[in-house]
Structure 1
């Protein structure tokens, strides 16, 4: 018969195993969080993140409540606490975690207090207490790193303090003459990368800016120094496509972008050299759309790491050599602590799982440490640090060091972004209703009920043509942002400008989205005789750009209104009423939507609308968005007979509109979406920021 003691031990052992597996999952798969739109993975990581702390607290509570002593309890409790601070890839799950860091630190203090008590109570042998206390202090340092990471990411504390140096540095640099700046070789671009130290920083009156006092032995690394490096590794022969230099450029841009989150001004935004940096630097060649988005992807990866990981702390003082040494230290001390207990294990009476549980913990630690060893040392942060050392130390300009840096920098363990575009189609999803079984009165206190008509279409891989079209629009229009009017004028269809001059940008997006969707449906329903031409048109680059951007903008309206210009609730409110309109107008015609929509456009017999009235937009002035979209589609299809021309007009309009909606003052919304896989509009927001385009109303012709 199993005794009460054995049942208690089995209960504790089960929770120790469960906690170990949960934290191991969090450590290993946390690195994939920002790179994937998979809801299953995100919910799994979220559950692991929440459960890890609660499971540790509950398990330690069980250990404290028992009436007998067991050496395994002290070992397990020590390892569990060490696990809590181990994950480098996820220090926080949401931005609120950083702002609530004091509560987190208090919880850790209490856990360490009880851990110290458990070690004293359950291990009265010095041979066991010494290694356990060594692990105790080692885990203190790790959890200290997590607390410091939360502090760095706090927008109300650490971020504003650490970003002021960059803000002041750029404020001083922006006051200097930039006439000789050359964006093709980064001459004159003093974008800060690495190398600053507290001893080098002085505060000077009258503006009390933080400034550098550099010497020959201590210099900060700026972007122009990276491009002027004489080493072969960064030369045109060693780095022909500039990918190594661009890693440092992404890091410098990330530091500049942090000023937007800390609410510092972009002092250089009004300078011509800032626009030239993007126009004639990042986009100097015909195919540089790939390079521009590659640089921004990496930049946003650094930004994600600032808010949600421990990497900024690990690389704050150079390469994390101590972190690498901990792999050997943790395993060695762990074996030192566990070996005596396992040797005496056979002398104990009764069935025990203690050896199995301890073995699982040791294997989990070893596996987690090895995974993190590779991820940390091949991360983008490590690459930046190696390259800055290479630029700063001429002695490193030798084949051996260059080979090491090349291996590290050309090894990408994880992609920075999965390059996906979310899609939503109103005409396909307006009739969708949330499941009553999942969303009802019983579940409402715990789960927010989705609004009607919200059904995501399948994500699509970001097409190359979309990047080309947007960069072409940026080059063509310069710093002048419009929501499609300029592209309509350029293509000779200024008659449609009324659809870009509606009360809100939400109106504009939904009207053009409905029109684009109807043009797509009409193309699909054309007679079989012209099937080959239709298929060819559907595979054209303009068709892909127009349809994918149309559905992406509709997705932003439906699912991410904070990333758009209008007030989020106004956007939601308008969208909900458009869904109601669609249900009323299209009730019972799911398979003949196109014809039903065109029937809405029939002219009233008593009133014939002239072309002049259409030009002024008077015909549709008081009508619903769903009708306006139908009339716009009818005009596009009946007046512009050439399919190729029609899709080119729509593609250029949507590319222009994407740039128009990208500027935003809601930096928090962009940071939150980074934790959910990232949004394409965030990449455009960052790109325009570095081009000096911060707001639509301040954009100017160049």
Structure 2
């Protein structure tokens, strides 16, 4: 009976080890894709793996410790599990709160090592196991210690403020220098730090107690962005790097370091300088079609920012290339190769409890082999992901600039191969969408959200039903950059575009409402009605309607309208108004829509079979037009109908109407982008990223930190 109980305990231990192994392997592989995915399934799967891994490891080690029998492989399995826990380089935390609770993680790891020490002492008596076990023990210390360092580095209350102060002080000193000779086309005069300050001597100077580089010679050890552009090597020349993509990798990294100051709450002293605006206007956007380059640079910059908060890459590359990490990879490969014959010939001691498969194979040895394969798989995946990451590219390029001795043809080929390989995209380049007139009647499922489930999962508000994501149109980026070039540093919520198009007197009232949430929702409703009008026109031929729908202005206006409505409904912290006020207003707009459009929502049959979709849209359009004819309109839903009526009656030409709407939405998108809530942007990076975050970063580097209060 005791033997059966022991075998059952052993089976539980092996099951939990296998489950934990699979969960952490999933974290390692799919955590790399997390940054660019909006998939809720992937998000919750990674969350479950992240949360359950530590719990399962604790429980499994408890089972091993409380077992009444001894198996020498217990200590090996326990060491493997802790190595697994710290080995996921691509995900150090799931949320920002995890970085601030780094002390809890350190305590959890301490408890795990306490259990591991007991297991090694109790279950290991063979001398041949002791040396490999202690090697694995120190390897696990390295891995879990690296994760602890990553949590500390990303902590906004501790590591981030300390590591960013040198950059902040350096930019403070540089901003006091004359910048009249600055040339953004060749980055002359732009002393944006890239790498090298770790090895330079730094002193603190009164009275401001700024951190400064001590001597000119030490200053030369530091790589700044102007040095990248002035490098005379063939790799970074106009022939070796004709489109400037290699130099832009370093530029993205330098901008990421500058952006970190916003999260550490340091000032942007260079924002008041003219050369900061010129950097964007005459540098990033100097040529026609440079909107693609600008967003590529910002996209890569936000990839670095994501890695800072959610991965171990900043720790791995803190002192240069991760040579020690690569050495560990070689040791793991050799160790797995050596372990194969030992597992093949493994024999239990007579006193051991053991399990056998139906084929006569030793289950303990088989489980150990599976774990070894999983470790090997993780190491191989991470070796390529780490060594071909953007962090590695920056490091190689800085070595190339700093050390002329490596500027030979062989090294240039190696660096070019590394820099031109893109294993992962920082962002999936999709735009979230929401349409009020399509989703106002939506109610959360009673089966999923009820009094029994609400304590565990939050119940969505009524009317919150996302439309399908759309691929970010190229014309949309072009329209926004055109608006930025046209308006300069003066941001307006659409009034300037109305002035340019000569319709300020007729339509500008809709830009001067009580809050920006009012403005967005009124223009969104009006844009949606103009879209419905285009579908319901009888006079215009089908071919003309198709041409209008495929026009760039139509795409820009409708996609940005639905994206801004999505921000109101799902991401109010990224908008200018107080988040709760935005939520409160939105909830009441849903109530208004249900009252005013009663009878236009889907019936049960229509919901089940998606019938009469066009008929429903026609009823909504006709009902809204009647609202637009009423006097004394105060509600947002009615104001939207009035604005739609003005657009349709006062601007007869369809093409002109969509041009006005496209320019207004592009302008409004820039207007809402500046924000002081950096945390909200960082949180959304973990959920796939938001387009407005790209604009927020771009405007920050242009010196536009806030909108005009007027």
**Distance (Å, rounded) in 2 between the aligned partners of 1:176 and 1:630:** 54
Cα 1:73/1:339, change in 2 over 3 Å = farther
Within-5 A mapping of 1:309-320: 309-320=311-322
Displacement of 1:89 in angstroms is 0.2
Cα 1:177/1:341, change in 2 over 3 Å = same
Is residue 628 of structure 2 the alignment partner of residue 601 of structure 1? yes
Deviations 1:269-317 (A, max 9, x none): 0000000000000000110000000000000000000000000000000
Per the alignment, residue 400 of structure 1 pairs with 410
Per the alignment, residue 354 of structure 1 pairs with 364
Displacement of 1:116 in angstroms is 1.3
**Distance (Å, rounded) in 1 between the aligned partners of 2:635 and 2:6:** 73
Cα 1:214/1:397, change in 2 over 3 Å = farther
Deviations 1:114-153 (A, max 9, x none): 1011111111111101101111011101111100000000
Within-5 A mapping of 1:152-301: 152-197=153-198, 199-216=200-217, 218-301=220-303
**Distance (Å, rounded) in 1 between the aligned partners of 2:630 and 2:105:** 65
**SS of residue in 1 equivalent to 2:267:** coil
Displacement of 1:197 in angstroms is 2.2
Is residue 648 of structure 2 the alignment partner of residue 651 of structure 1? no
Displacement of 1:214 in angstroms is 4.2
**Distance (Å, rounded) in 2 between the aligned partners of 1:474 and 1:697:** 15
Answer yes or no: is the 8 Å Cα contact 1:135–1:330 preserved in 2: no
**Distance (Å, rounded) in 1 between the aligned partners of 2:412 and 2:199:** 30
Answer yes or no: is the 8 Å Cα contact 2:343–2:369 preserved in 1: no
**Distance (Å, rounded) in 2 between the aligned partners of 1:161 and 1:237:** 40
**SS of residue in 1 equivalent to 2:269:** coil
Per the alignment, residue 76 of structure 2 pairs with 75
Q: Which moved more, 1:450-459 or 1:67-76?
A: 67-76
1:514 to 525, 532, 543: 525
Answer yes or no: is the 8 Å Cα contact 1:194–1:221 preserved in 2: yes
Displacement of 1:587 in angstroms is 1.0
Answer yes or no: is the 8 Å Cα contact 1:270–1:692 preserved in 2: yes
Aligned length: 683
**SS of residue in 2 equivalent to 1:3:** helix
Is residue 699 of structure 2 the alignment partner of residue 667 of structure 1? no
**Distance (Å, rounded) in 1 between the aligned partners of 2:630 and 2:439:** 28
Cα 1:401/1:214, change in 2 over 3 Å = farther
Is residue 457 of structure 2 the alignment partner of residue 430 of structure 1? no
Displacement of 1:62 in angstroms is 0.5
Deviations 1:393-417 (A, max 9, x none): 1111111010000000000001111
Displacement of 1:336 in angstroms is 4.9
Displacement of 1:325 in angstroms is 1.1
Per the alignment, residue 18 of structure 1 pairs with 19
Displacement of 1:601 in angstroms is 2.0
Gaps of 5+ in 2: 357-361, 602-615
Deviations 1:73-124 (A, max 9, x none): 1111010010000000000000000000001001101101110111111111
Per the alignment, residue 120 of structure 1 pairs with 121
1:374 to 376, 381, 384: 384
**Distance (Å, rounded) in 1 between the aligned partners of 2:446 and 2:153:** 43
Per the alignment, residue 549 of structure 2 pairs with 538
Answer yes or no: is the 8 Å Cα contact 1:131–1:336 preserved in 2: no
**Distance (Å, rounded) in 2 between the aligned partners of 1:546 and 1:419:** 18
Per the alignment, residue 610 of structure 1 pairs with none
**Distance (Å, rounded) in 1 between the aligned partners of 2:221 and 2:275:** 24
Per the alignment, residue 609 of structure 1 pairs with none
Cα 1:350/1:397, change in 2 over 3 Å = closer
**SS of residue in 1 equivalent to 2:468:** strand
TM-score by length of 1: 0.96
Within-5 A mapping of 1:33-182: 33-182=34-183
Deviations 1:203-261 (A, max 9, x none): 11121110012454752000000000000100000000000000000000000000000
Per the alignment, residue 5 of structure 2 pairs with 4
Per the alignment, residue 610 of structure 2 pairs with none
Answer yes or no: is the 8 Å Cα contact 1:128–1:337 preserved in 2: no
**Distance (Å, rounded) in 2 between the aligned partners of 1:556 and 1:335:** 53
Q: Which moved more, 1:282-291 or 1:212-221?
A: 212-221
**Distance (Å, rounded) in 2 between the aligned partners of 1:581 and 1:514:** 13
Q: Which moved more, 1:66-75 or 1:290-299?
A: 66-75
Deviations 1:478-502 (A, max 9, x none): 0000000000011011121110000
Cα 1:264/1:89, change in 2 over 3 Å = same
Per the alignment, residue 608 of structure 1 pairs with none
Deviations 1:367-424 (A, max 9, x none): 0000000000000000000000000011111110100000000000011110000000
**Distance (Å, rounded) in 2 between the aligned partners of 1:568 and 1:680:** 18
Displacement of 1:658 in angstroms is 0.2
1:497 to 495, 505, 508: 508
**Distance (Å, rounded) in 1 between the aligned partners of 2:182 and 2:403:** 26
Displacement of 1:600 in angstroms is 1.1
Answer yes or no: is the 8 Å Cα contact 1:289–1:467 preserved in 2: yes
Is residue 500 of structure 2 the alignment partner of residue 475 of structure 1? no
Answer yes or no: is the 8 Å Cα contact 1:193–1:248 preserved in 2: yes
Displacement of 1:530 in angstroms is 1.5
**Distance (Å, rounded) in 1 between the aligned partners of 2:134 and 2:344:** 19
**Distance (Å, rounded) in 1 between the aligned partners of 2:312 and 2:690:** 23
Displacement of 1:630 in angstroms is 0.4
Displacement of 1:337 in angstroms is 6.1
Per the alignment, residue 442 of structure 1 pairs with 452
**Distance (Å, rounded) in 2 between the aligned partners of 1:653 and 1:149:** 43
TM-score by length of 2: 0.94
Gaps of 5+ in 1: 605-618
Within-5 A mapping of 1:544-555: 544-555=555-566
**Distance (Å, rounded) in 2 between the aligned partners of 1:257 and 1:347:** 60
**Distance (Å, rounded) in 1 between the aligned partners of 2:235 and 2:437:** 54
**SS of residue in 2 equivalent to 1:85:** helix
Answer yes or no: is the 8 Å Cα contact 1:135–1:333 preserved in 2: no
**Distance (Å, rounded) in 2 between the aligned partners of 1:492 and 1:424:** 30
Displacement of 1:6 in angstroms is 1.3
Per the alignment, residue 416 of structure 1 pairs with 426
**Distance (Å, rounded) in 1 between the aligned partners of 2:19 and 2:539:** 60
**SS of residue in 2 equivalent to 1:211:** strand
Displacement of 1:344 in angstroms is 3.1
Deviations 1:156-181 (A, max 9, x none): 00000000000000000000000000
**SS of residue in 2 equivalent to 1:193:** strand
Per the alignment, residue 614 of structure 1 pairs with none
Answer yes or no: is the 8 Å Cα contact 1:421–1:552 preserved in 2: yes
Answer yes or no: is the 8 Å Cα contact 1:482–1:656 preserved in 2: yes
Answer yes or no: is the 8 Å Cα contact 2:355–2:364 preserved in 1: no
Answer yes or no: is the 8 Å Cα contact 1:513–1:629 preserved in 2: yes
**Distance (Å, rounded) in 2 between the aligned partners of 1:62 and 1:530:** 74
